[in-house]
Each structure stands twice: as C-alpha cells, then as structure tokens.
Amino acid sequence: MNEYPVIKVRGGKIKVGDEVYRGKKVIEKMEEMIADYELVYVIDLDGCKKNSPNLELYKKVDGGIWLDACPRGVEDVMDLIVAGAEKITIWGMKEEYFKEISEAVERDIFIGGKDVRWATEMVRKYNFRGIVIEEEQESISKIETWKIFESQGFIRRVK
C-alpha cells in the first residue's frame, strides 16, 4: 500500500477526526485502522517532546505500527522495536549512532529532517530504507520517499 493513516499519540490518547480515544478504545481504534490499512503511522508527541514515548501502549497493539517517536540514540530505537514498531522514522538524531543502528536493526528505518539533502545522504550512506518529508518539502532523489500530509491525516509514498 502507498498510503497509511497518521495518528498522534499524547498521554496515551489519540485523536482521529474530531473524536478522542482513551484507554482500551485507543488500542481498538488503532487495530481497526491497521485492519483497514495494514499499517498506521504513529507520531508520538510524548516521545518527541519529552523523550518519553508511549511504549506500553504499542506493546498492546497487534502489529502494523510505523513509529515516529523521535528516538535520540540506539537504545531508544531498540525500545521502539521491543514495543512492536515494524518501521521507524528517525528525526534529529546525531549521525554518530547511524552506523550501529544500520548494523543492529533489521527493521525498515526512515530518516526525516528539515534538510532533505542531508536525510537523503544518510539513507544512502547507511543503507536505510528511505526518507520521510513534511507536506511543504520536496524530494530530491529517487530513493523511497514518504510525505506526511498532516492536513489530510495520511502519509503517502511519493517516490
């Protein structure tokens, strides 16, 4: 599939459309979306802002999670894998960790960043899967590229 829904998690809650889900309803809604789309792209706001992703929540969801929780190092990436992430997007991590991640991790790793050229270079250098860009950014290469359309609530493959 070339398109997946995007949800944001904060404090163990998610908002889909105008509805907020809490507790077990979060897991049910995520699994419903995974059943419909195979995968859901999760932006973990607690992970990105407080370095405290909702790992226990993801452990309860049955598969299909592409996790964007702003891991800061190798241990954070490993925590996301243990929590059940099938794919991981890395934003803002120092390059010094990339070699170890590329050697240790067998999941699809995507690099996101404000600098598309740098992200593209990192994917090529460390043999990651591709890049993730924001709605206003443009891809500059032929590597696998996914664009987050926050206004529409989807991430789509654009290359």
**Which tens digits make up the pLDDT trace of 79-114?**
999 999 999 999 999 999 999 999 999 999 999 989
* Confidence at residue 10, expressed as pLDDT on a 0 to 100 scale: 97
Type of residue at 138: E
Q: How many CA atoms lie within 13 A of 87 on its CB side?
A: 21
Q: What is the pTM of this model?
A: 0.96
pLDDT tens digit sequence for 10-35: 999 998 888 999 999 999 999 999 99
Residue 24 phi/psi, 5-degree rounding, is -65, -25
* Rounded-to-integer distance, Cα 109 and Cα 90, Å: 7
Residues 30-86 have pLDDT tens digits of 999 999 999 999 999 999 999 999 999 999 999 899 999 999 999 999 999 999 999
The three-class DSSP label of residue 93 is coil
All structural domains of the chain:
3-157 (3.20.20.70)
Cα separation, 101 vs 136, whole angstroms: 28
AA letter at 40: V
